[in-house]
Each structure stands twice: as C-alpha cells, then as structure tokens.
Amino acid sequence: MSKVKTLLIGSNTEPVATLGAELKANRHTIPSLAGIENDSWPWADALQQWRETVAGGEQADRIVVMIWPDHGHKTPCSDTDFLAWSRRAEAPLAQWFAALGCAQQLCSDGGSVVALVERPAPLDSTGRAPEVAVAEGVVALVRSLAKSEGARGARFNAVTTPLRLSPEKLVNPAPALASYPGQLLREVIGSVRMMLGDDSCGVTGSVVHADCGRSW
Amino acid sequence: MADKKVVMITGASGGLGKGLALACAEQGWSVWVAARRESEGNKVAAQIEHSGGAARFVHCDAGDPHSVDTAVATILAAESRLDGLVHNATSGLSPRPGRVSELSLNDFRDHVTVSLRGSYLLARAAFEPLQSSQGALVLLSSEAGFEGKARLPAYAAVKAAQRGFARSLAREWGNCGIRVNCLAPLASTEAMEDAFRRDPEMEQRVMARHPMQRLGDSVKDIGPAVCFLLSQNSRYITGHTLMVDGGSCPVT
C-alpha cells in the first residue's frame, strides 16, 4: 500500500488550510455541523458515515488532526443558551472524536499523530468553559490513543495554542514571551513538526503548550 | 428540613451516588436524591430517613434541559435554598470497553450528554441559588480524565472535559462566591464491578499499581471528601480536582 507523507484531518476553515499548505499535507475535511435543535445530535449518523469512509483510505506516517471551528464570543456559563453550548462544546468534541478515530485507523505502524488543539490558558479561560472542556477532552482522547496504539509503535501527542481564543485583555501577569499568543506558522507549526517527527520518537501521550509560556 | 443545608446529588439512586447521599446525610445535609430511576431513588431516600437523616427523591435526567430545570425548581420550591450540587451521574455505557475507532458516535453522544452536558445544564440551573447560598458545585471526574484509558476512551474524554469545564467555571464564578471543584474517586461500585466483568484483566491492572491495594468505599472513603468540598472547610478551594483514589493515579 502506498503511503502519503503527511495527512491533515480538519475543519474547513482558513487556519487549517494554511497549515495544510505549509505541511504539504493531503487533507480530509470534516463536515461542518449545524446546531442542535433538541437534545439529540441530528448529524451523528452523517458524521459516523464520514468517519467510516475516511478511515478506509490510504494510511499515512504522519497525521495532524485540527478541528478548528468558528468559535462564538465568550460568554458566562449562566448566559450560554443550549444551542450555543451545543455548537461550542458538543459538536466540536464529536468532530474530534470522529477525526481521532480516523487518525487511529489511518496511522501506519510506527507513525505519529498530532492533535493541534485550541485551548485558552487557564488564566484567560473565563467565559470559555465550552472550549476548555473540549480541549481537555481531546487531551484525554490523545492519551487514550497513545496507550492503545503504542504496542504497534504509533505515537499520539497534542499541541495546544490559544491563538484564536486569547482575550483582548489578559489577566496579569503578562505571558512569559512577548510574542504571545504566537503565530500559527512560527511557534505553533514548529511544535507540530517536532512532535510529528523522529526527534520525538520517545514521546507519546504528551501535551506541548505552544503558548509562549502562558500555561505551565 | 428548612434549617439544614440542602444538597442535590445526581445519579444518587445507586452506586457511588448512593454512597455520597448517605455520607452527606450523615453529616447533616438535607439530601435530594436526583435520578431517573424513581423506585430506586425513593429507596435511597427512605433509607436515609430511616436512619434519622433528611432526604427526598427528585426526578432528574441530567442530559435533558427541561428535566434539570424542573428538578432544581422543585428543590427550590420545597426548600427555598440550594447549598450544594454534586453531579455524579454518568452514562450507562461507562464500563463498556472499546478503542476509539470501535465506538460509535451515538455511543459517544451518550457519554457527552450525561457527563458534560449535564455539568453545563446543572451549573446553569443552579447558578442563582448557589450564588444566594454562597454554595459549591462538585463534579465527579475520574483518574481516567488525567491519564486517558486505552479501553475506555470516551469515558476518559468526558471526565477530562468536566475538569476543564470546572476549572474555567471556577474562575468565572469565583467573584460570585460559588466554588467549583472536581473529585476523582476510585471506588468499589456496581459500574466498576461491571467493568471488571467485561474486561477481566482490568481488576489485575487496577490493583497492580494501587499502593493501598483496595478500592474505596463510597460512603466511608469518597463521601467525606465530597462533604469536605461542599462544606465551609474548603471555603478557599476552587478550580481544583481532588484525587480520592488511594494514591492509584500516578498523575496529579
């Protein structure tokens, strides 16, 4: 079976396209999900079907998963209506689950998968409870996959960035690096490349916060 | 019941939640056993009343917005206060093993609905009464939420998501006087026994790394820790995840 060098599974948004082009990656685009009108996931079957189709494709040595939907404005939890909650928390988490399931099946033995996750730093997370929940859930999925796929030499790691979720006004103290929150094609892509490549061959189930020292 | 502090505990009709209800009642809380199973919930409430405590059942499906709002409103109508809320309910699929690619989106939805959506719905519904009482919200997480689980990835994901949700909410609610914490227990429960049955090697794996070589008792080991997080003894603790696992989890 022929293998592509790098595969990117992600949203149909501009940052994903930018990273994919820079990595010269083949792309699988996950379907956008409409909001939830009731307490079910009307898009679950379609997402399941997408997952099964994509998972049957060519394997790859290096895979980046990047579910970066368009986020809503930050809001206090008590003011977040159910539809907004669903759009900001449940739909992205379901997309991550589907995409990481594809990555699990598409990653060749000895390959490497990096989940590039948007995550507000703890200090700046007020009003971003849905996004923080998704980020932490993704990290646990990555660690679960690191455990289940380690026996065949496949590695799973996460890189986080607050790039699009950083508030205009930061809580003191200031971030360690003045370059905060960083740039996708500088600080963030470097961490992704490192975790994808052979230099991190002994690293799996780890999280790199590419956030200029805002998390610890 | 009016003079007692009032706590609502989801998933309290059995398992760990029942143990938490008994422990809270022992410590003098007026306990609302919130669950879908009315018959079992009423039995727990009756057991508490029989022991001299105060408890009532309220129907609550943690993943249903209307049900959560109604349950909180019912408690407020009866008690005029709510001092603590413990979200313990989890999906019935929690013990079912399988790798990520083996789990369907519909299975994952069930995990998300009960654990994560439930956290949001309960927090939203209880915000005002908890602010009035300067109360506390406690979410039951798991060591799986720290380290992931090869065979329980969906469970691990939602338990981690709850921790992230709690940490963010703690920052948001801090100046309102409401504390938000997680508790990650390792307890002997029906769900754990079910997981051991489904994955016979799991019990060996769990015990092999356990310093104390035993699972926690839901009333005697886990219950007091929940009571601590609900009480004024933890008045300066928020955004924290308290591991109550006998030292089992190597990640802190």
Q: Domains, chain A, ranges and CATH?
A: 4-209 (3.40.50.720)
Helices assigned H by DSSP within B189-250: 190-198, 200-208, 223-230
A60-85 per-residue burial string, b: 16 or more CB within 10 A, e: under 16: bbbbbbbbbbeeeebbebbebebeeb
Min CA distance, B63 vs chain A (Å)?
Answer: 8
Q: Which amino acid is at B77?
A: A
Report the Cα B162 to chain-centroid distance in Å: 11
Read off the pLDDT band of A133 (50, 70, 90).
Answer: very high
Q: Which residues of A touch B103 (CB under 8 A)?
A: 97, 101
For the domain B6-187+218-237, what is the CATH superfamily, name and number? NAD(P)-binding Rossmann-like Domain (3.40.50.720)
Average pLDDT of B20-43? 98
Secondary structure class of B127 (helix, strand, coil): helix
> Would you say the C-alpha torsion B57, B59, B65, B66 has a positive or negative sign?
negative
Average pLDDT of B24-40? 98
Instruction: Please identify among residues 85-114 of chain B the ones whose CB lies closer than 8 Å to any CB of chain A.
Output: 99-101, 103-106, 108-109, 112-113
- Cα(A42)–Cα(A23) distance, integer angstroms: 34
Please tell me if residue A71 touches chain B, with a CB cutoff of 8 Å: no
Please state the domain extents for chain B: 6-187+218-237
Strands B6-10 and A207-209: unpaired
pLDDT digits (tens, 9 = 90+) for A16-26: 999 999 999 99
Q: Report the pLDDT value the prediction gives residue B118, as an integer from 0 to 100.
A: 98
Model confidence, pTM: 0.96
Q: Check CB contact under 8 Å for A39 and B63.
A: yes
Tokens of B155: 């469970």
Q: Which residue has the higher pLDDT, A11 or B205?
A: A11
Interface with chain A: mutation pick from B101, B147, B249, B251, highest number of A CBs within 10 Å: B101
How many residues can be counted in chain A?
A: 216
Spatial CB neighbours of B210, under 8 Å, sequence gap ≥ 6? B186, B246, B247, B248
Nearest Cα residue in chain B from A95? B105
Per-residue DSSP letter, A192: H
CB atoms within 10 A of CB B228: 18
pLDDT digits (tens, 9 = 90+) for A175-208: 999 999 999 999 999 999 999 999 999 999 999 9
* Phi–psi pair at B109, nearest 5 degrees: -60, -40
Tokens of A35: 């909001």
Average pLDDT of B238-245? 96
- Cα(A12)–Cα(A29) distance, integer angstroms: 6
Q: Is B43 exposed, middle or buried (0-12, 13-18, 19+ CB in 10 A)?
A: middle
- Answer whether B135's CB lies under 8 Å from B153's CB: no
